[in-house]
Amino acid sequence: MIKKLEKPLLVTEPSLPRYEDYIDTIKKIWSTKWLTNQGVFHNDLECKIKNFLKVDYLTLFCNGHSALDCAIKQLRFTKEKWPKIGGEIITTPFTFVSTTHAISMNGFTPIFCDIKADDYTIDEDKIEGLITDKTVAIVCTHVYGFPCNVERISQLAKKHDLKVIYDAAHAFGVEVNGVPIGNFGDMSMFSFHATKVYNTIEGGALAYSNVALQNKLNLMRNFGILDTEEIASFGINAKMNEFQAAMGIENLKYVTKNIQNRKNAAQIYYKELSRIPGIKLVDLKQNIKYNYSYMPILIDEKCFGISRDQLYDKLTQYNIYPRKYFYPLISNTPIYKHPNTQNNIADYVAKSILCLPLFADIQKEDVEYVCKIINDISRNT
């Protein structure tokens, strides 16, 4: 048996700026004593991320989930004074549970649509069959940073008068045909959680092109408070603080380089794993600029010899800790299970997928080691 790693190799590791740079930046907070509520770092970062993502408008939030929550809350506000409750939202079951909770906890019913076997995003051919007179929106995920079929989804939304909100939590920096990913649909949510391609410790944002949303979102993230004497709308507390924003400013300096490092590591995985029988990798397309946020591999048990779960267990014996993202499938969890929905491809993918370690500072030798172990397991089963 090949020797196991001395230190555990986890699926991800957060990117940090230089310690001295972060300390230098936050030092200023001790003189201004401005900790939160649209401080200077916050406003600076909002502008910088908007430019980086090349979107028309961007609103920062304390985390990605709150951003998505506010995006979906916008669907409840019409001309009436009180928020409307109810309606159906077509969504993917193959995502992080945040997407689904944001829908259901705002009073909408998630209607699960199956995904595609080639890139795990929502199957646009199956959306139309799920549209009813109660459908109000499509909320779907650019899972692992692989873009949904944004063109077809726009056409469907236009035809049936539906809103489209993208969960772009994984898609920071992704482009489709030269168009940055935050420019599709009515709104796109980005997450800047510690484990994401770009982080502000915890954080998130909404990108959109309708200027009318800007005031509404600014109000909603701060209790609906317009000024000291006016409460102009409903709202929650979803503000990003100055320590998060300072981390964001420092981390933004490295994000391009970090994505390049991820790409280099992913290329080793692709080279070493694509020949192994029973391991399927997503075909990367020329017209898409990827961010290499995750390294998913699909295990075809019959052909590979052992199951995804068995491979996972074997890898942990070598101190390699991949993750079964996204398992369990949301539509199979007790709270979201529904007897009438079946998502065969999503079901199969959730049982067969494994995300291998991939992060900006991963060592080439570690990637090669993981590949060697998987090759070794494949030859001996």
Ligand X SMILES: *Cc1c(COP(=O)(O)O)cnc(C)c1O
Interaction site with ligand X (CB under 6 A): 63-65, 95-96, 98-99, 141, 167, 169-170, 191, 193, 204
Per-residue tokens: 294: 């995750």
SS3 of the chain: helix, strand, coil, percent, to 5:
40, 15, 45
Minimum CB–partner distance for residue 73 and ligand X (Å): 15
The residue (of 93 and 278) whose beta carbon lies closer to ligand X is 93
- By C-beta, is 102 or 367 nearer to ligand X? 102
Identity of the residue, 176 or 371, whose beta carbon is nearer to ligand X in the bound complex = 176
Please say which residue, 121 or 141, places its beta carbon nearer to ligand X.
141
Closest CA to 375 of 318, 324, 327, 325: 318
Closer residue to ligand X, CB minimum distance, 204 or 278? 204
Q: Which is nearer to ligand X, 61 or 318 (CB)?
A: 61
Instruction: Tell me the residue number closest to ligand X, measured at CB.
Output: 64
Q: Return the biggest CA–CA distance within the chain.
A: 72
Distance in Å, CB of 326 to ligand X, minimum: 8
Q: Decide whether 205 or 273 has the Cβ nearer to ligand X.
A: 205
Please give the Cα distance from 259 to 251 (Å, whole number).
12
In sequence order, what E strands does 54-181 have?
Answer: 57-61, 88-91, 109-112, 135-141, 163-167, 175-176, 179-180
335 residue type, one letter: I
Provide the pairing of β-strand 230-231 with 225-227. antiparallel
DSSP strands (E only) in the chain: 9-10, 57-61, 88-91, 109-112, 135-141, 163-167, 175-176, 179-180, 187-191, 204-208, 225-227, 230-231, 279-280, 288-289, 295-299, 320-321, 353-356
Shortest distance, CB of residue 141 to ligand X, whole angstroms?
5
- Name 246's bridge partners: none
Of 54, 1, 6, give the one whose Cα is nearest residue 320: 6
Q: At its nearest, how many Å lie between ligand X and the CB of residue 106?
A: 15
Q: 43: number of CA atoms within 13 Å, CB side?
A: 6
Minimum distance, C-beta of residue 227 to ligand X, in the bound complex (Å): 29
Q: 92 vs 166, 355, 363, CA distance in Å?
A: 11, 19, 34
Q: Name the minimum Å distance from CB 310 to ligand X.
A: 26
Closest distance of CB 295 from ligand X, Å: 15
Nearer Cβ to ligand X, position 142 or 163? Answer: 142
Shortest spacing between CB 63 and ligand X, in angstroms: 4
Q: Cα separations (Å) of 262 from 73, 126, 188?
A: 35, 33, 23
